[in-house]
């Protein structure tokens, strides 16, 4: 078989582990040829690729980022993009394409699959918001990084008797905020699924100070927004692909809380550090398993599907099901967190 692999969308710890696993399973065990497209779908659309053999993937298991590069370019962004992709798949004699990506990438994968291309997706995102898989690799690393940061921030917050508003990633869902906030014992967690009331938040933090505590840590997802009418709030602008850019909630909240509470408040935006660096052992294992199963799937002729973790097993789910809706934080998970705040 001749297999093409690409990584698209925001990078994520564990991408290299998938690439390595695909190459090991395909080249060593099946005698396949694997090529890697550069910078996501852009590489497929521009026929920009390189051969991936064992040497090419040596020593990359623990390396963050992606050796193939990534971009947010999608076939639908270019006029004739789908036809161009089909032409390159034919010219290169590809029997399968394994795109590794999040929501946007998997939607593009479905588009190409519906157009008849042999696609088998692998989900990735630190946000953990892909439906149909219990977990995506990258999430555990992001939560670990955010938790360590929160632990560190507690000591400086206490020394200065401050309120720290710590913004973590999560455009549409609050998984990173929920898990890191619970793991670090944050005093409030704000997620996009549940618009917050700034007065309620101010009361929670204020009561903590009244009880003699010296500091407070609020974890907020970048996509969290106030309940309508509870606070003047400016949303992010959009980037060149029309994605909302989130740069504001921690800044705006810290000013608001400082004013309401008369306590010093500071915003801390963790940003891309959550996506950088070496993946945790959990993410390396999940990514490696996804890569192995992706190769098995294409050998068994399963296309238009995505690898998924269900319980402890890796299974295949239709791309159509995977991109139907995002996996949001259920109300009961939020309630569990609230009782320990």
Query: What is the distance between the alpha carbons of residues 275 and 307, in angstroms, rounded to a whole number?
Result: 21
Cα distance between residue 152 and residue 304, in whole Å? 44
The Cα–Cα gap between 84 and 108 comes to 14
Of 97, 71, 111, 96, the C-alpha closest to 243 is 71
Choices 17-25, 60-68, 163-171, 205-213; region in contact with ligand F6P by CB under 6 A: 163-171
List the one residue from 3, 8, 10, 289 that touches ligand F6P (CB under 6 A).
10
Q: Where are the beta strands (DSSP E) in 111-207?
A: 120-123, 163-168, 188-190
102 near ligand F6P, judged by CB under 6 A: yes
| Least gap, CB of 81 to ligand F6P (angstroms) | 20
Note whether 224 and 249 are within 8 A (CB): yes
The Cα 156–Cα 178 span in angstroms is 22
* Cα angle value 81/85/89 (rounded, 5°): 170
Residue 116 backbone zone (phi > 0: left; psi -120 to 50: alpha; other: beta): left
Quick one: which of 267, 192, 188 has its CA closest to 225? 192
Could you say whether residue 127 binds ligand F6P (CB under 6 A)? Answer: yes
Q: Is residue 240 exposed (0-12), middle (13-18) or buried (19+ Cβ within 10 Å)? A: exposed
- Show the tokens assigned to 144: 């670990």
Q: Which of 110, 275 has the CB closer to ligand F6P? A: 275
Q: 127 or 296, CB closer to ligand F6P? A: 127
Distance between CA atoms of 283 and 334, rounded to whole angstroms?
Answer: 24
Q: How far apart are CA 190 and CA 174, in angstroms?
A: 8
Q: Which is nearer to ligand F6P, 170 or 206 (CB)?
A: 170
**Residues 171-190 close enough to bind ligand F6P by CB under 6 A:** 171
Chain-centroid distance of CA 91 in Å reads 33
Residue with smaller CB distance to ligand F6P, 169 or 224: 169
Per CB under 6 A, the segment of 22-30, 81-89, 121-129, 313-321 that binds ligand F6P is 121-129
Shortest spacing between CB 31 and ligand F6P, in angstroms: 35
101 near ligand F6P (CB under 6 A): no
d(Cα 262, Cα 256) in Å, to the nearest integer? 10
Question: Is 327 one of the binding residues for ligand F6P (CB under 6 A)?
Answer: no
Among 11, 127, 129, 283, the active-site one is 127
Q: Which residues are annotated as a binding site?
A: 10, 72-73, 102-105, 125-127, 162, 169-171, 222, 266, 272-275
126 binds ligand F6P (CB under 6 A): yes
The reply to whether 329 sits near ligand F6P by the rule CB under 6 A is: no
Q: Is residue 125 a contact point for ligand F6P (CB under 6 A)?
A: yes
CB of 186 to ligand F6P, least distance (A): 18
Please pick, from the candidates 64, 81, 123, 170, the single residue that binds ligand F6P as defined by CB under 6 A.
170
Catalytic residue status for 127: yes
Nearer to ligand F6P, 22 or 126 (CB): 126
Nearest residue (CB) to ligand F6P, 171 versus 208: 171
- DSSP class of residue 144 equals H
Place of tokens 């455009």: 171
Answer for which of 5, 122, 169, 218 binds ligand F6P (CB under 6 A) is 169
Which residues in the 257-296 window bind ligand F6P by CB under 6 A? 275
- The size of the interface with ligand F6P (CB under 6 A), counted in residues, is 11
Catalogue the active-site residues: 127
Instruction: Point out which residues bind ligand F6P (CB under 6 A).
Output: 10, 102, 125-127, 169-171, 222, 246, 275
């Amino acid at each position: 078989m001749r297999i093409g692999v690409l990584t698209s969308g925001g990078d994520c710890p564990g991408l290299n582990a998938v690439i390595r696993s695909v190459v090991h399973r395909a080249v060593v065990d099946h005698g396949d040829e694997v090529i890697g497209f550069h910078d996501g779908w852009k590489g497929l659309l521009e026929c920009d690729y390189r051969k991936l053999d064992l040497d090419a993937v040596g020593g990359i298991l623990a390396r963050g980022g992606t050796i193939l590069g990534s971009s947010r370019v999608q076939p639908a962004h270019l006029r004739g993009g789908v036809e161009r992709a089909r032409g390159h798949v034919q010219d290169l004699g590809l029997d399968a394409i394994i795109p590794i990506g999040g929501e946007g990438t998997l939607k593009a994968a479905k588009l190409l699959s519906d157009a008849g291309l042999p696609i088998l997706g692998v989900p990735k995102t630190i946000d953990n918001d892909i439906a149909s898989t219990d977990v995506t690799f990258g999430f555990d690393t992001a939560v670990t990084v955010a938790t360590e940061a929160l632990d560190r921030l507690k000591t400086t917050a206490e020394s200065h008797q401050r309120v720290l508003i710590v913004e973590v990633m999560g455009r549409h869902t609050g998984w990173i905020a929920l898990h890191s906030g619970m793991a670090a014992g944050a005093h409030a967690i704000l997620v996009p699924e549940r618009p917050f009331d700034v007065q309620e938040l101010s009361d929670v933090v204020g009561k903590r100070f009244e009880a003699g505590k010296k500091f407070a840590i609020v974890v907020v997802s970048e996509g969290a927004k106030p309940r309508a009418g509870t606070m003047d709030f400016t949303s992010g602008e959009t980037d060149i692909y029309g994605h909302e850019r989130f740069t504001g909630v921690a800044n705006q909240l810290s000013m608001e809380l400082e004013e309401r509470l008369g306590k010093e408040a500071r915003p801390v935006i963790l940003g891309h550090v959550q996506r950088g660096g070496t993946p945790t052992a959990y993410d390396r294992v999940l990514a490696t398993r996804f890569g192995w199963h992706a190769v098995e799937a294409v050998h068994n002729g399963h296309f238009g599907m995505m690898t998924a973790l269900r319980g402890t097993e890796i299974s295949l789910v239709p791309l159509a099901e995977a991109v139907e809706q995002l996996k949001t934080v259920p109300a009961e998970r939020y309630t569990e967190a609230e009782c320990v705040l």
